[in-house]
Amino acid sequence: MKFASFSHKGSIHIGVVDDAAGRVRPVSGVTGMVDLIARYDQIKSSLKSDGADIALSDVKLLAPIAAPARNIICVGKNYGEHAREFSNSGFEAGAVKGAEIDEYPAVFSKGPNTVVGPYDDVRLHAHITSSVDYEVELALVIGKGGRDISKADAYRHIFGYTIVNDVTARDRQKNHKQWFLGKTLDTFCPMGPWITTSDELDPENLDVKCWVNGELRQNANTSDLIFDIPSLVSTISAGMALVPGDIIATGTPAGVGIGFNPPKFLKSGDVVAMEISNIGRIENKFV
Ligand code: MG
C-alpha cells in the first residue's frame, strides 16, 4: 500500500494511493498518519474508505508525516563514493585523508520545522548561507516502536519507506563542526510523495536518483549502503526508544553539489527532482 497525506477542498486526509491510476482514496477512522502507523496491525484489514476516490491531480500532496513531525534522524557518509567526495570537498570539518569511511555511522537530526511537502518550495536562506546543496535519500518510517532493537528484528519495526531531500547548507555544516545547524534550516526536509509499506519493496535494492534542472546528478542503488538498514535501526535504537512515525534517512550517494569542482550549489529558481523505485518522485523549487 501507498499512504499519502493530502489536502482537498480545505481539509486534510490520509489516503491510499493507486499510483498507476493516478487516484487516491481517503481512509476514515484515523486522526492522522502517525495514528494510522501506530495502529496499523489492528486496523489494516478493516481500513474503510471515506468517500469516493479522487484524482491525484486534484489534491495537494503533503509531507506524509506532517508537522509536528516525529524525530527525523539522518545518517551521514553512508555510501563510499559520497564519503570520499565529501571528505575531498573541503567542507567536512576534521576530514582525514585515507579515513573517509567511518567505523561507526555518523548520525544527526533535523528539526521539525524542516519538513515540507513533496512539491513545496524550499527556501535558500541567502542571508545566512551561500552553499545550499541537495541530498536524495531513502528514508524509513518506524512502525512498531522499541528500544535496543536487534538487527534481526529491525525490519519488523519498519512501517514503510519514503523519499527525503536532506538539504544542507555546506558552509554552516563546515563552520559549526557539528552538522545540525547546516541541516535544520526551515524547509530543509522535503518529504514524500507518500509512504510505501514495507511489504511492497525490497529496501536493499532500490534505484535512487536526483536531477537538478533536468540534469541527472545522483544515480545509485541502496545495495551500496555502507551501514545497512538493520545496522542503522539497531545502532540508533540502542538506549533510545524509537516510536511510530520516527523517520531515519539512510544517507545520500555521490553526486551532490560539493562533489563537483567548482561546487554546484543551488540557486534561486533551481528545481530538484528525486525518484526512488517503488516509491515515487518529489520535486521542489528553491527560492
Ligand atoms: Mg544526508
pLDDT greater than 90 at residue 101: no
pLDDT greater than 90 at residue 156: yes
The pLDDT of residue 68? 62
pLDDT greater than 80 at residue 165: yes
Mean pLDDT of 130-156: 98
Architecture of domain 72-285: Alpha-Beta Complex (3.90)
Distance 259 CA to ligand 1 centre (A): 14
Distance 248 CA to ligand 1 centre (A): 10
Distance 44 CA to ligand 1 centre (A): 32
Mean pLDDT of 67-75: 82
Distance 41 CA to ligand 1 centre (A): 31
Distance 74 CA to ligand 1 centre (A): 6
Extents of the domains making up the chain: 2-62, 72-285
Distance 194 CA to ligand 1 centre (A): 19
pLDDT greater than 70 at residue 69: no
> What value does the mean pLDDT of the chain take?
95
pLDDT greater than 80 at residue 33: yes
Fold match flag (2-62 vs 72-285): no
CATH assignment of 2-62, among 2.60.40, 3.30.499, 2.30.30, 1.10.150: 2.30.30
Neighbours of 97 (CB within 10 A): 7
What separation in angstroms does the CA of 211 have from each of 93, 96, 280, 281? 27, 30, 14, 11
